[in-house]
């Protein structure tokens, strides 16, 4: 039985889009690559995002115009779908980061 | 319901197959959970296939046997229900919208027929026929049309035929006039239906229906016949009378304009200013009211904004 309480689902949902958009800020990436970067940053065991959550999230962010997808041949020559951040996505990410900074400041004050 | 939403289409998209029985078996199960035609399901399955194969490659590199690595990849991907749910939710909306639209259109035609000619049979019979045929038409439409926001890359391939419906001011004016005509006609029909003025021998439900649909039509205004398509080369602009191709390098500015319609999204959605340099000297400007009914609106606007210099 998994006894790790993990992060509260509601909290995580609000944070995930920011985390994923932030991964794409530097360069376009594909689903697996995004997951690897998240694992490197936060550790795979943190269970920040699972495959079943990541792809619906990417599709939703694309539908909202924050991401653009395009296809490029992958390692095996198969079509691989890359995502990149749009200008709208950059604006959104900037706003979200500012919000999170304010929340963090509030939390820090509360904790201290 | 799931089975109903997805007609049996032979086989799962073979281009996604990897040759590994464990991975391919998982892909087939995933494919069975999706709705829509093969063309619609293919990008989802291909993306999942690429993901599974990437995990498998990584684990083989770490020392697992190919079979163990494939099993690990499948376990890692876990719950297919969550993965498939988002695709089905997006498509369910398409089925519903298409079905309701088809029902209303059929009803409108039927009401016109009831007004103009004597239609044999009772109104309940025709109403039932309308609903059944509307549902079937909606189903057929929803089955072949892709879900919002899941088309393949627009700028990279240039193969994807994807349009953004926009309204030029003059087209919008014509549409308003046309729909006002409909409302006037609908009002006369309604008045006739309740026994006043012209057409006073009409059945009143028919008049009421025409009136109602006219009002709905006025609010929606329908997609006017101006469409733009964006790809790697630029913007192809098609109106009723002409088609222009505007290369990305010709575009001077694309800007979102704030206006009242930005707040009252339906039916116009967003207003865009598109300024470009034609072959002759000077510059041309288009004000485009982007149709909010388009599922790809946000994404296409983002493509435009992303490619063109900002004002």
ipTM entry: 0.84
- Chain A CB contacts of B50 below 8 Å: 30-32, 74, 78-81
- Interface test with chain B among A31, A49, A53, A88, by most B beta carbons within 10 Å: A88
Residue-wise pLDDT for B195-253, tens only, equals 555 555 656 666 666 666 666 655 544 444 466 777 767 777 766 556 777 887 788 77
CB atoms B302 and A60 under 8 Å: no
Strand partners, B235: B230, B246
Higher-confidence residue of B2 and B94: namely B94
User: What percentage of chain A has pLDDT greater than the value 90?
Assistant: 27
CB atoms A52 and B43 under 8 Å: no
* CA B158 to chain CA centroid, nearest Å: 19
pTM for the complete prediction? Answer: 0.59
Strand partners, B255: B273
Tokens of residue A4, six digits? 């790790």
Compute the average pLDDT of residues B151-177.
50
- Chain B CB contacts of A56 below 8 Å: 82-83, 85-87
* CA B254 to chain CA centroid, nearest Å: 23
Strand-by-strand arrangement of the B243-247 sheet: B243-247, B234-238, B226-230, B163-167, B284-290, B270-276, B251-257
Residue-wise pLDDT for A48-95, tens only, equals 777 878 888 888 888 777 888 777 777 777 778 888 888 888 889 999
Q: Report the residue from B49, B82, B306 with minimal CB separation from A86.
A: B306
Cis preceding-peptide flag for B63 (omega within 30 of 0): no
The residues near B259 (Cβ < 8 Å, ≥ 6 apart) are: B271
- Chain B CB contacts of A75 below 8 Å: 57
Residue B255 pLDDT level (bands cut at 50, 70, 90) = confident
CA geometry: angle at B199 spanning B193 and B205, to 5°?
25
Average pLDDT, chain B: 67
> Closest approach of chain A CAs to the CA of B236, in angstroms?
19
- Chain B CB contacts of A64 below 8 Å: 149, 298-299
Of B183, B184, B185, B207, nearest to B195 by C-alpha is B207
Of B163, B139, B129, nearest to B231 by C-alpha is B163
């Amino acid at each position: 039985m998994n006894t790790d309480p993990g992060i509260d689902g509601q909290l995580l949902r609000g944070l995930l889009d920011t985390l994923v958009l932030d991964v794409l800020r530097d360069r376009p990436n594909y689903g697996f690559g995004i997951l690897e970067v998240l694992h490197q940053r936060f550790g795979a065991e943190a269970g920040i995002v699972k495959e079943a959550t990541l792809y619906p999230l990417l599709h939703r962010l694309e539908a909202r115009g924050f991401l653009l997808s395009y296809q490029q041949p992958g390692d095996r020559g198969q079509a691989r779908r890359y995502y990149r951040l749009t200008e709208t996505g950059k604006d959104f990410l900037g706003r979200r980061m500012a919000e999170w900074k304010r929340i963090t400041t509030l939390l820090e004050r509360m904790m201290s | 319901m799931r089975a109903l939403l997805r007609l049996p289409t032979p086989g799962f998209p073979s281009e996604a197959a990897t040759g590994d029985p464990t991975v391919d078996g998982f892909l087939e199960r995933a494919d069975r959970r999706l709705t829509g035609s093969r063309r619609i399901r293919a990008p989802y399955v291909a993306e999942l296939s690429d993901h599974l194969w990437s995990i498998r490659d990584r684990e083989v590199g770490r020392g697992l046997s190919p079979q163990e690595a494939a099993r690990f990849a499948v376990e890692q991907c876990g719950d297919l229900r969550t993965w498939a749910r988002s695709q089905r939710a997006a498509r369910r909306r398409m089925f519903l919208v298409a079905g309701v639209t088809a029902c209303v259109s059929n009803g409108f035609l039927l009401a016109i027929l009831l007004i103009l000619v004597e239609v044999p049979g009772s109104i309940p019979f025709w109403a039932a026929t309308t609903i059944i045929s509307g549902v079937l038409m909606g189903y057929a439409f929803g089955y072949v049309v892709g879900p919002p926001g899941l088309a393949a890359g627009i700028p990279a391939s240039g193969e994807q035929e994807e349009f953004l419906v926009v309204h030029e001011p003059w087209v919008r004016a014509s549409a308003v006039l046309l729909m006002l005509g409909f409302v006037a006609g609908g009002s006369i029909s309604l008045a006739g239906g309740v026994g006043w003025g012209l057409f006073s021998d009409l059945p009143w439900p028919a008049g009421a229906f025409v009136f109602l649909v006219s009002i709905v039509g006025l609010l929606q205004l329908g997609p006017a016949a101006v469409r733009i398509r964006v790809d790697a080369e630029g913007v192809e602009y098609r109106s009723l009378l002409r088609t222009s191709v505007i290369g990305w390098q010709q575009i001077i500015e694309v800007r979102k304009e704030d206006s009242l319609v930005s707040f009252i999204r339906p039916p116009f959605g967003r207003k865009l200013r598109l300024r470009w340099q034609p072959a002759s000297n000077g510059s041309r400007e288009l004000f485009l009211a982007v149709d909010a009914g388009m599922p790809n609106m946000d994404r296409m606007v983002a493509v435009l904004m992303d490619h063109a210099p900002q004002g």
